[in-house]
């Protein structure tokens, strides 16, 4: 594809609701990253995949957060029982070779 | 752990002024260093990078030199344009996985 795409671009959830955020990386990119960006701050690492293997999930803030990439392409970040502090922009990035990463436009999540 | 500290903003300059945005880092090993830019309403874009000490990254008139002795990677541009108005993020990658970002510096260039 032309670039990394993410959907939905905006999501409003009621507290306690489950949400699923999708990332379509650039075709052929082996590595995929998820970041969380709070307002006025830089992106914070959540998790990293190489193909379908989740190599690092040290940044996931709680066990309510779960990410998968079952076929080594599209990835889904799931947040269960959303809380207000989960409100942020969720960024996905992919790369073919390290260290350059290509970012998607992000999903802006608002939990009410 | 790894960390990146960048110059607090916002920064406001007149067109054709000289730009410096400071960035210092703390990391184990030998990280790669990056500057990303985020234009209004758009996603993060890689602006430039340097992968080892004394390397100079450059793109679109912007430059930054990897200084291991001062653990710095300051962004410079000799003559800014209104179109350079954006948020600039300094980042490092110390291993095969995650990047660590600074909090961003907002630049506004006035005509």
Percentage of chain B modeled with pLDDT above 70: 99
Is the model's pLDDT at A1 over the cut of 60? no
SS3 B40: coil
Contacts of B46 in chain A (CB under 8 A): 100-102
Structure-token pair, residue A83: 């809380």
State phi, psi for A86 to the nearest 5 degrees.
Answer: -80, -10
pLDDT digits (tens, 9 = 90+) for B27-70: 988 899 999 999 988 889 999 999 999 999 999 999 999 999 99
Number of residues in chain B: 111
C-alpha span between B98 and A47 (Å, rounded): 8
State phi, psi for A85 to the nearest 5 degrees.
Answer: -70, -5
| Range in A10-14, B39-43, B78-82, B87-91 the model is least confident about | B39-43
pLDDT digits (tens, 9 = 90+) for A26-57: 999 999 999 999 988 899 999 999 999 999 99
Across residues A64-89, what is the average pLDDT?
A: 97
Interface membership of A56 toward B (CB under 8 Å): yes
Q: What pLDDT is attached to residue B96?
A: 67
As a whole number, the mean pLDDT across chain B is 93
Query: How many Å lie between the alpha carbon of B5 and the closest alpha carbon of chain A?
Result: 11
- Rounded-to-10 torsion of CA A45, A109, A92, B75: -70
Interface membership of A72 toward B (CB under 8 Å): no
State phi, psi for A23 to the nearest 5 degrees.
Answer: -130, 125
């Amino acid at each position: 594809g032309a670039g990394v795409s993410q959907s939905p671009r905006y999501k409003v959830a009621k507290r306690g609701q489950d949400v699923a955020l999708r990332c379509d990386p650039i075709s052929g990119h082996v590595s995929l990253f998820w970041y969380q960006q709070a307002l006025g701050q830089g992106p914070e690492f959540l998790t990293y995949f190489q193909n379908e293997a989740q190599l690092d999930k040290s940044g996931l803030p709680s066990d309510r957060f779960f990410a998968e990439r079952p076929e080594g392409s599209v990835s889904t970040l799931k947040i269960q029982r959303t809380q207000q502090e989960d409100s942020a922009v969720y960024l996905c990035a992919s790369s073919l070779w390290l260290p350059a990463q290509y970012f998607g436009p992000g999903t802006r999540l608002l939990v009410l | 752990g790894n960390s990146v500290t960048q110059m607090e903003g916002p920064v406001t300059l007149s067109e054709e002024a000289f730009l410096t945005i400071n960035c210092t880092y703390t990391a184990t090993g030998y990280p790669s260093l990056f500057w990303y830019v985020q234009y209004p309403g758009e996603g993060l874009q890689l602006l430039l990078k340097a992968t080892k000490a004394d390397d100079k990254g450059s793109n679109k008139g912007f430059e930054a030199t990897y200084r291991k002795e001062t653990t710095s990677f300051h962004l410079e541009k000799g003559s800014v344009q209104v179109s350079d108005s954006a948020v600039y993020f300094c980042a490092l990658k110390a291993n095969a996985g995650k990047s660590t970002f600074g909090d961003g510096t907002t630049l506004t260039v006035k005509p």
